[in-house]
Amino acid sequence: MDQTPGKGRPRIGREEITAGLLWLALTATGEVVLWNAPLLPARYSDTAHISDDAFLVLTRLAIPVFAFVVSVLVVSLLRFRSRGAPKEDGEPIRGSARTIKTW
């Protein structure tokens, strides 16, 4: 998020809005598929409903998290992709001898 000069509130940028809209779309699609698709096998046990219900609850909780990760990855890949070969080398990377020895 961009920080507006002189203000305490961060400004929401285009990337955040795009990721949010993509997250909403992926979450809604995942929930619709989960509610309508026959994902579970037939119940041949008296206690099958317990594991089926647990699976559905965990899947419903996982869909928004997975959609968030996918939307951030997609927006990041599109926003920060390479735009051709660099014209010159970047600065050399300096390491810390203490970190290298510790590693």
The whole domain housing 69 covers 9-40+53-81
Long-range CB pairs of 67-76 (<8 Å, 24+ gap) are 67/22, 67/23, 67/26, 67/27, 67/30, 68/23, 70/22, 70/26, 71/19, 71/20, 71/22, 71/23, 71/26, 72/19, 74/19, 74/22, 75/15, 75/18, 75/19, 75/22
Q: Say how many domains are in the chain.
A: 1
pLDDT of residue 72: 94
pLDDT tens readout for residues 20-68: 999 999 999 999 999 888 888 888 888 888 998 999 999 999 999 999 9
State the average pLDDT for the chain: 87
Task: Tell whether the model's pLDDT for residue 5 goes beyond 80.
Answer: no
Task: Tell whether the model's pLDDT for residue 94 goes beyond 90.
Answer: no
Q: Does the pTM of the predicted model rise above 0.75?
A: no
pLDDT of residue 23: 95
pLDDT of residue 7: 66
